[in-house]
Amino acid sequence: MINREGETIAVPINRGTGTSAANVRKIAEERIVPRAGEIDKTGEYPWDLLELFKQQDLLGLSVPEEYGGSGADMLTYCLVVEEVARACASTSLIIAAQELGLMPILLGGSEEQKRKYLPKIAKGEYICAFGLTEPNAGSDAGGIRTRARREGDEYVLNGNKCFITNGGIADVYVIFAKTGPDAGLKGISAFIVEKDIPGFSVGKQEDKMGIKGSATAELILEDVRVPAANLLKREGAGFGIAMQTLDMTRPGIGAQALGIAQGALDCAVAYARERKQFGQTIGSFQAIQFMLADMSTRVEAARQLLYKSASLIGNSKELGVAPSEVTRFSAMAKLFASDTAMQVTTDAVQILGGYGYMKEYPVERMMRDAKITQIYEGTNQIQRLVIEKCLVGD
The secondary structure of 18-51 as a DSSP string is: --BHHHHHHHIIIIIHHHHHHHHHH----HHHHH
Contact assessment for residue 29 and residue 38, using Cβ atoms and an 8 Å cutoff:
no
CA distance 339 to 362: 19
In DSSP terms, which residues pair with 20 in a beta bridge? 12
Active-site choice (83, 134, 218, 377): 377
Task: Count other C-beta atoms under 10 Å from residue 352's C-beta.
Answer: 23
Closest C-alpha to 121, from 96, 92, 101, 91? 101
Q: Torsion angle of alpha carbons 170, 17, 44, 103, nearest 10°?
A: 30
Residue type (1 letter), 371: K
**377: annotated active-site residue:** yes
CA distance 245 to 134: 18
Burial class (CB in 10 A: 0-12, 13-18, 19+), 260: buried
For residue 67, what is the DSSP state?
G
What's 67-88 look like in SS3?
Answer: HCCCCCCHHHHHHHHHHHHHHC
List, in sequence order, every beta strand (DSSP E) within the chain: 128-131, 147-151, 154-165, 172-178, 188-194, 200-205, 216-227, 276-277, 280-281
For residue 305, what is the DSSP state?
H
Contact assessment for residue 222 and residue 203, using Cβ atoms and an 8 Å cutoff:
no
CA distance 304 to 337: 10
In DSSP terms, which residues pair with 97 in a beta bridge? none
Contact assessment for residue 232 and residue 128, using Cβ atoms and an 8 Å cutoff:
no
Catalytic residue positions? Answer: 377
